[in-house]
Each structure stands twice: as structure tokens, then as C-alpha cells.
Chains A and B, each alone.
Chain A
Amino acid sequence: MISHLPILQVIVPLMAAPICLLLKRSQLVWLFSLFASAIAFIISVLLLQQVMTSGVISYELGGWEAPWGIEYRIDKLNAFLLLIISAISTVVLIAAQTSIEKEIPKEKHTLFYILYLLSLTGMLGIVSTGDAFNVFVFLEISSLSAYALIALGQDRRALWASYQYLIMGTIGATFILIGIGLMYQMTGTLNMQDLSQRLPEVAQTRTVFTAFAFVIVGVCLKLALFPLHLWLPNAYAYAPSIVTAFFAATATKVAIYLLIRFTFTIFGLSFSFTTLPLQGLFLVLGLTGIFVASSAAIYQKNVKHVFAYSSIAQVGYIIVGLSTSTITGLTATLLHLFNHALMKSAIFLALGAVVYRLGNVQLSSFNGLGRQMPLTMAAIVIGGLSLIGVPLTVGFISKWYLLTALLEKGWWPVAILILLGSLLAVIYVWRIVEAAYFKKPLAGSAPVKEAPLFFLVPIWLLITANIYFGIDTRLSLQVASAAAQSLFGVSP
């Protein structure tokens, strides 16, 4: 059983999805999905433990040996990602039933859970597989279910947002497929380990350069790196709240994982960052992304838009961390993957609670909410502080590591820019705080009650995690730095 964990990680949610069809009753389906996701979470914990103690796990799918068959390869990096994805998915699902009762018509509830589980399967699959083509397959599974999930949003604009995402996402996936195809043409293999060994021989060919360009652009579309981010704000704003909370914490993270996997493992550090100018490119795009997206966040009227733009800015921080191409920089990136997932899922879940009570998240609806929904608003404030990077929250830890990485490189001006960027976060977070605590509720609006318990519990679980991992960084830091070291080939 233990030896089959890598495949069970993916199979459990995949099999759970069709079973949902048989269960029919919405409450039952919810409990079952929650159960499946929780099992996936437990598996990921076991996997992480195993990887940290005894090193890389290689699993041969169907018993076919590695270069020919599909290999599932769990190392520290993807074990960390599996943990993030399955944990967030489980916590978010706790609130799912309460939230979709208001946002999605009853006959579509089962469909929602099926899509949710398929999307989870896709993400877990992308992360755990060691086969480049398999990545594409799972990418399509998660993306197709994502388009449908977003289209379930109650606002009619959700359809348009989903369509935009569909077009951009398909272009991205196609680019990745072309890249993988070109690599296959040059090396005759699809296994990542194999690719990483064979690519250096043909590294100086135009085909490999082209393959690299296609893969990187495709992945950057998926992770919404500026200026390829245009699909993201509307997709996040109009999707059902639960979907936003789940995707904001995981979808872009998976794409960033792919970026790291392709640049570090498959193409290799020296090819990606020395032969090709990825370093300068990422630095410039990351920084521009931080400033453009944070400034855009300040001017949004819909609070989901505010935090969607903030997500794009956070991707900027992650990419700047990558661009240093040092161990510290990569550690900062991985830490921020974890920490940002905690912040954003908490914030978007709290916004889901606001939607539950108010029906929308326009900034003007937040007026006076500090008194009416004190716990929910307190969660948004703490999440916001974490986003700003105040000490004792996770945001500070990632910021500190990013700063150290930049200073290590001697990039003082970049360090200053990063800090200035986080001041923009102060502005967009404080607009919401002022609305909630200083403005009187609009005249004639009905009094609002605090969010139901099924919202408060997961929200505060995540907020507690935000503070806990800001104080006790042993787990996140240990795993992140071990993963970064192994990617650089340094034995910890």
C-alpha cells in the first residue's frame, strides 16, 4: 500500500469524481468529496515524510520500466507542492456546500463537485508525474474542468471570463505541447530524467532553443506572468467564490512548479539562466508585474478584482525570486508558494463569506462590515497584513528571504523596489479596512449577520496557519530549502 502512494495520490480524487454521479444528494456528494480530498491530503503528508527521510520515490506506472513506461517521481519539490494543493483543497471544501447553496443552482451541485475533484486530480497529476507528455494530459484535465468551474459563476460575465481563459489557456497548453514535441523529436524520450540527461548533447541546436521558448511562454501564460495575465482578473472575480479560493491558492502555483521543473530539472540551470537570458527577462517582467498589477489593484471597485490583481503582483515576487537563480532565491520562491497559498485562500474564502451574506463584493458593500461581520473582516485584515508582509505573519518570512536573496546577489536597487512594491499593498488593503471600519452601512441596507460556522472554521484555520507559519517556520523553511538545495544538486 505504502509503495503505491504516488499513484494513489492521483487516483483517489480521479475515481471519486465519477462516484459522485451515483450519490446524487448534494450533501452526500459534498461529504464524499471532502473525504476524498482529505485522503489525498493524508497521502501527501505521508509522501512528504517519506521523501524527507529516505529521498526520491520513483514509481513505475503499471510496472513498465522508466524510460518506456510512465514514471511518477516524487522528490522534495513536488511533495511540497502536493501538500499545499491537497491541504488547501480540503480546507476550502469545508465551506463549499454552504457557499454553493447560494451561488450555484441545486441541479448543478453534483457537477460542481465532480469538476472540482477532476481539477484537483489534474493538479496533483501535473505535480507528481515524471513524464513530460503526462504533464500535458493532466494539464488539460485540470484546465478543462477549470473552464467549466469558472463558467458556473452566477454572474453572466463568468461565461465571458471562462471563454477568455479557455482561449488563453488553450494557447498556453498548445505551446507547451509543441515544446514537448520538439524535445521529443530531438531526444526521443519524454521522461524528465531522461530528457535532462540527453538535452545537453543537443543543447546548442535551434530546435531546442525553440522548444524552450515554446514551453516557457506556454507555462508563463498559465501562471499569469505579466504581460500574459489578462485572463486572470475576470476569471477569479466571476468564478464561484469557492473556486476562486481554491484556484488562487493552487492553480498558478502548479504552473510555477512546471516552470521550475522545466528550467531547473529538464533544461538545467546553466542552459536556462546562462545560455539563455531568462534571468534578465524574469527580473524585468517580475518587477513590472509587481508594480503594474499592484497599481491596478488600487483602482478596482470589486474586491475580488483587487485581490486577483494582487495575485498577479505576488507572481511577480515569485518570479523575481526565481530570477536570482541562487539557492536562497529559489528557497524564497518556494516559501512564497506555500505562504501565498495560505494568504490568498484565506482572503478569498472570507470574500466568499461576504458574498454569502451580501451577494456581492463591491467595495461600497463593505461599508460598516467591520461591526456586522467582525470575525470575517478580522480575517481579511490579518490576511491583508500578511500580504503586506508584517512580521509574525507568513508574508514577512517570504519577504525576508527574498530580500536576503537579492542582497546576496548585490541587487540593492531591486531590493528597494520590492519593498516599495509592498507599500502599494498597504494602500489596496487599507482601502478595504477603511470602508469596513470607518464608513457607515448604506442607508436602507438590511442588517448583515456574521458568516455561518462552515465559513468561519476554514477561514480561521487558514488565518491561524498564516500566523503559525509566520512564527514557527521549521516545516515550511526546512522543506523549501531542502527542495531548493536538491534542485541545485547540493546534498543537504
Chain B
Amino acid sequence: MNYSLEVMLQLTIAIPLLAIVGIILAQKTPNIREGITISASILLLFIVASLYQSLLSGKNVNVFWWDIMPNLSISFSIEPLGMLFALIASFLWLITTFYAIGYMRSHQEENQTRFYSCFALAISAVMGIAFSDNLFTLFVFYEVLTLSTYPLVTHAGTEKAKQGGRVYLGILLSTSIAFFLLAIAGTWFITGTLDFKQGGIFNADVDKTIAGALLVLFIFGIGKAAIMPFHRWLPAAMVAPTPVSALLHAVAVVKAGVFTILKVCVFIFGLDLLAILPTTQFLLYLAGASVLLASIVAMRQDNLKARLAYSTISQLGYITIGALLATSSGVIGSSMHIATHAFGKITLFFCAGAILVAAHKSKISEMRGLGRQMPLTMIAFFIASLSIIGVPPTGGTWSKWFLLMGTIETEQWVLMVVLMVSSLLNIAYLLPIPFHAFFSTPLPEKHDASSSNHESVDLASSVDQSQVQIKEAPWPSLLAIGITTFGCLFLFIYPQPLFDLATAILASGQ
């Protein structure tokens, strides 16, 4: 039985890779190609779910591939936090695939084979990150994820995409090479191991200054967590097609970042050590500043995807704060927020994409009155916004509650205020969008069509007619939106499994 579990763990990484082969072979027949992607994602979800079952029954799974260098191995194991991440990523891959088929076809994008291949490669890397047993393995897959998403970000191949890709790759690769790698090498040099271990791998008598410096290097080096001042790549990456933004930049890539931070905080430093490091407080305030500033910047964005991108930066700050608080409520809140924010934000991005496809609008100011033409999309947008803000009846309530509890327990009053103010700002930049969509009338068409972005330019001539004929997005996209919206609500009503998984993080391995 144990043997087959190990095979299944390796399959989570192998299935997306095998899917790539199929995708490339079937590139001439789009239906078969997409069929392969969907079957692969269903299979992956099934395997991850059965691994979840075995985790619940308390089985340990360890897979050792090989030593790349002495004591530095590529090896995998299953623990609750990684399970949580893998479950979310594999479930949302399936949903996003449905969404992407509708989106990419109705948008008539080119190079779809490359798109689906890189997408699958990225998911494979995410599975590697989620199940990695040591920091070295995690780093390897972290870099694979960066490189495999680069062609997705630059998918359009335009000058703007190239610029965005430059910022994306530049920041992610630089931070990971200059800081993350140095932090890993330093950790390895001090402790002689990179294995994730409950309670951390540093001895109690480690030099606090050096460990503190390593923590700073880690937080800055994990650029995917988008802590200011290394957040610029996230808005830059929004030039990607919407499904990419949705899965990779609301779920896979950014969550790989905060997941890594959580892993480092809990399993490399250990909460006890983390709480007494001299730099922790500074980093907490930095993350707090990131939360507030990103929210303020988000309010000023008129492009919907850019506003969502800054909102993501702000929400990632929450998760980093939770990890750095070094208490159990902080860690529970953070890990639950990984899940709830994933569902909320992917819904918002899906909606943004649906609006772009169906109504050819990307600016918030143009979306007034859209609620009458696209009621379902706008209702979904409203519910997902509530989840991001963190009010009932949505899943975001619980994670934000625990995060708030964490700040109160540790008497971080400044951060408590930051979290609450930021939630107010969330209301200010998210809710007006559905509100205006339902209760305002469209502004008179006075702007020049050429000032809007390129997607709408070629349609500028037909804008007047299409104004009347806007319909909901194609059904696969709507289905995807429906499922993730339901997810937001479901996580409020039945958060128990998520909560259990989050509590198990600190209990595992003891």
C-alpha cells in the first residue's frame, strides 16, 4: 500500500509532464489536445485527493529520487501544508482549463499548443514545490516555475508583453539568485541540512543576528510573495492572457511564494526561534506597509486586471504577516487565507476575463451598467469581492478572523489596525465595481476608441451595436465562474476540512 502511495506522489509531478507530450503530439487537432489537458487535470485531482485521504489516515509518504550533491537530495514527502496547496492548485487547474478553452477559443489566440504545454509544466512545478521534502528541492521547482511561466506571460509576443516579461523574469530570477540562493546556502552552511523539520533546523544557540539576516534574505528572496519593494513583477505579468493571470498570478505562482515563506518560517526557522529574531518585527512592518500601500495603489487603478493585481499584492502581505507572527493562529490564518484568497481572486480574474471576452471592456470606468447585460458574472464578482474583504457568508471571513486573532494574541496593535484599515480599503476598491454595474447607467460614449487598449481597438467600429448586444461569456467560462463562486460560499459554510488541515500543519511530524 505504501509503495503505491509513493508512486502516486511521483505521478502528481509526472502526469502534467506526460500531458505535455500528448498536447504536443495532438497539436493539429485542438479538440483532442484540450481533451488531453482536461483528462490529465481530472486524473491529477483524483490522485491528489486520494493522497489527501491517505494523509488523513496518518500514513507517511516519502520519496527519494537522488542526491544531486552530497546531502542535497531531490526528495518529496507529504505534509498538511503542502497537501493544502496541492489540493487548491490541482482543483483550480481543472477549473481553469475549462475556462481557458472558452477564453482562448473565443479570443482566437495563437500558439495555443505552447500555451497549454507551458501551463502543464507550471502545474508540474507547483506539485514539486508542494510536496518537496527539503528546501533544495523546493528551490529547484521554484526556478522551474519561474521559467515555465515566462512564455505564458509573454504569450501575446507584443512589445508590451516583452516589457512585462522582462520585469517578470528580471525580478523573480534576480531575487531568487541573489537572495534566496544565498539564504539557502547560508542555512545549509550553518545547519548542515535543508530538510523541512517540525520546529525548525536551527539550533537554539544559533547567532541571532545571522539567523535574522537570513530571514530577511528569505523574505526578499522569495520574490513570488511580492512583498514590496519586489512586487513590480506582478502588475507587469498582467499582460498575460486572463486564464494565466487567474491561475498563475492568483493561485500558483504567488501562492508558491507565500507557501515557501510559510514553509521557511515553520519548518526551517521554527516558530520559537522566529519569534525572537531581531529582524522579525521589521519584516512584519514591511509586510504591513505592503498591505496598506498596495491597497491604496489598487484604488487608483482603472484597469480591472491591474486593480486585481495590486489587491493580490496586498492580500499576499496578509499571509506573510500571519507567517511572521509566529503563533499558531497566525499560521492557521495564513494557510487558510491561501485557500480562501485563491478561490476569491480566481473568481475575480475569471470575471475580468469574461467581461473582456463578452463585452471587450478592460477599464472599470466602462463597466457601469454592465450588470444588466452580464448579471451572473457581476453577481459572482460581488460574492468573490466579499470573500476578499472577509465578510460572511464567504470563506474569507474565517482566514481573516484568525489573522486578526494572531495580531491580538501577539499584541501587535499596529498590525491589527493595518489589517482592519486594509479591509476597509478592500471594500472601497472592490465593491463599487458591481455596485455601479447594477445601479448606474453607462457613461455617455465621449472617449476616443483609440485610447482604450488594443483588444477593443479592432472592435471600435462595432462598439455601438455591441453595446446593446452584450451577452454573458461562453458557457464553459460561466461554469468555471460558477464553481469557484460556489467555492467561496462553501468555504464559509463548511470550513472544517480546511481548518483541520491548517491545524495539522503545526502538529505534523511530532
Which residues of the other chain, B, contact A472 by a CB distance below 8 angstroms?
Answer: 66, 68
Select which of B162, B182, B188 is within 8 A of A438 by beta carbon. Answer: B162
Name which of A96-104, A245-253, A400-408 contacts chain B. Answer: A400-408
Q: Per-residue CB proximity of B152-177 to A under 8 Å, as 1/0?
A: 00100101011000100110011001
Indicate if A416 sits at the interface (CB-CB under 8 A).
Answer: yes
A426 close to B154 (CB less than 8 A): no
Closest-CB distance, B240 to chain A (whole angstroms): 15
Select which of A392, A415, A422, A437 is within 8 A of B185 by beta carbon. Answer: A415
> Which residue of A is nearest B217, CB measured?
A416
> Which residue of B is nearest A472, CB measured?
B66
A391 close to B140 (CB less than 8 A): yes
Closest-CB distance, A368 to chain B (whole angstroms): 11
Asked, given contacts A385-B147, A391-B140, whether A407 binds B173 with beta carbons under 8 Å apart, the answer is no
Which residues of the other chain, B, contact A399 by a CB distance below 8 angstroms?
Answer: 181
Q: Per-residue CB proximity of A393-437 to B under 8 Å, as 1/0?
A: 000010111011001100010011001101100100010001001
B185 close to A423 (CB less than 8 A): no
Which residues of the other chain, A, contact B139 by a CB distance below 8 angstroms?
Answer: 391
B162 close to A400 (CB less than 8 A): no
Indicate if A36 sits at the interface (CB-CB under 8 A).
Answer: no
A430 close to B66 (CB less than 8 A): no
Closest-CB distance, A331 to chain B (whole angstroms): 11
A404 close to B188 (CB less than 8 A): yes
Number of interface residues of B (CB under 8 A): 28
Indicate if B186 sits at the interface (CB-CB under 8 A).
Answer: yes
Q: Which of A431-452 contact B (CB under 8 A)?
A: 434, 437-438
Interface size class of A (residues with CB under 8 A): 20 to 34
Select which of B72, B162, B177, B189 is within 8 A of A407 by beta carbon. Answer: B189
Which residues of the other chain, A, contact B177 by a CB distance below 8 angstroms?
Answer: 388-389, 419, 422-423, 426
Q: Which of A93-146 contact B (CB under 8 A)?
A: none
Indicate if B468 sits at the interface (CB-CB under 8 A).
Answer: no
> Which residue of B is nearest A470, CB measured?
B68
Kindly state the separation between the CA atoms of A60 and B35 in the bound complex, as whole angstroms. 70
Which residues of the other chain, A, contact B157 by a CB distance below 8 angstroms?
Answer: 438
> Which residue of A is nearest B154, CB measured?
A438
A434 close to B185 (CB less than 8 A): no
Select which of B69, B159, B189 is within 8 A of A408 by beta carbon. Answer: B189
A419 close to B189 (CB less than 8 A): no
> Which residue of A is nearest B185, CB measured?
A403
Asked, given contacts A423-B177, A426-B170, A434-B162, whether A407 binds B143 with beta carbons under 8 Å apart, the answer is no
A407 close to B186 (CB less than 8 A): yes
A473 close to B162 (CB less than 8 A): no
B178 close to A391 (CB less than 8 A): no
Kindly state the separation between the CA atoms of A422 and B180 in the bound complex, as whole angstroms. 14
B69 close to A477 (CB less than 8 A): yes
Kindly state the separation between the CA atoms of A423 and B179 in the bound complex, as whole angstroms. 11
Q: Per-residue CB proximity of A171-182 to B under 8 Å, as 1/0?
A: 000000000000
Select which of B72, B154, B182 is within 8 A of A419 by beta carbon. Answer: B182
A420 close to B147 (CB less than 8 A): no
A430 close to B166 (CB less than 8 A): yes
Asked, given contacts A388-B177, A407-B189, A430-B166, whether A471 binds B182 with beta carbons under 8 Å apart, the answer is no
Which residues of the other chain, A, contact B186 by a CB distance below 8 angstroms?
Answer: 407, 412
Which residues of the other chain, B, contact A470 by a CB distance below 8 angstroms?
Answer: 68
Kindly state the separation between the CA atoms of A298 and B66 in the bound complex, as whole angstroms. 37
Select which of B68, B70, B174 is within 8 A of A423 by beta carbon. Answer: B174
Kindly state the separation between the CA atoms of A246 and B142 in the bound complex, as whole angstroms. 34
Asked, given contacts A391-B140, A392-B140, A423-B177, whether A430 binds B147 with beta carbons under 8 Å apart, the answer is no
Which residues of the other chain, A, contact B161 by a CB distance below 8 angstroms?
Answer: 438
Closest-CB distance, B37 to chain A (whole angstroms): 22
Kindly state the separation between the CA atoms of A420 and B173 in the bound complex, as whole angstroms. 11
> Which residue of A is nearest B162, CB measured?
A438
Kindly state the separation between the CA atoms of A437 and B114 in the bound complex, as whole angstroms. 13
Which residues of the other chain, A, contact B72 by a CB distance below 8 angstroms?
Answer: 400
> Which residue of A is nearest B65, CB measured?
A471
Which residues of the other chain, B, contact A400 by a CB distance below 8 angstroms?
Answer: 69, 72, 185
B68 close to A416 (CB less than 8 A): no
B178 close to A471 (CB less than 8 A): no
Q: Per-residue CB proximity of B425-440 to A under 8 Å, as 1/0?
A: 0000000000000000
Which residues of the other chain, A, contact B170 by a CB distance below 8 angstroms?
Answer: 426
> Which residue of A is nearest B180, CB measured?
A419
Indicate if A390 sits at the interface (CB-CB under 8 A).
Answer: yes
Closest-CB distance, A485 to chain B (whole angstroms): 14
Select which of A408, A416, A437 is within 8 A of B182 by beta carbon. Answer: A416
Kindly state the separation between the CA atoms of A389 and B139 in the bound complex, as whole angstroms. 13
> Which residue of B is nearest A399, CB measured?
B181
Which residues of the other chain, B, contact A477 by a CB distance below 8 angstroms?
Answer: 69-70
Closest-CB distance, A270 to chain B (whole angstroms): 26
Which residues of the other chain, A, contact B70 by a CB distance below 8 angstroms?
Answer: 477
Which residues of the other chain, A, contact B166 by a CB distance below 8 angstroms?
Answer: 430, 434
Q: Per-residue CB proximity of A465-484 to B under 8 Å, as 1/0?
A: 00000111100010000000
Q: Per-residue CB proximity of B354-396 to A under 8 Å, as 1/0?
A: 0000000000000000000000000000000000000000000
14 contacts between A and B (CB under 8 A): A389-B177, A390-B143, A392-B140, A397-B68, A400-B185, A403-B182, A408-B189, A415-B182, A419-B177, A420-B178, A423-B177, A426-B169, A430-B169, A472-B68
9 further A-B contacts with Cβ under 8 Å, apart from A407-B185, A426-B174, are A391-B139, A403-B185, A404-B185, A407-B186, A423-B173, A423-B174, A423-B178, A472-B68, A473-B68
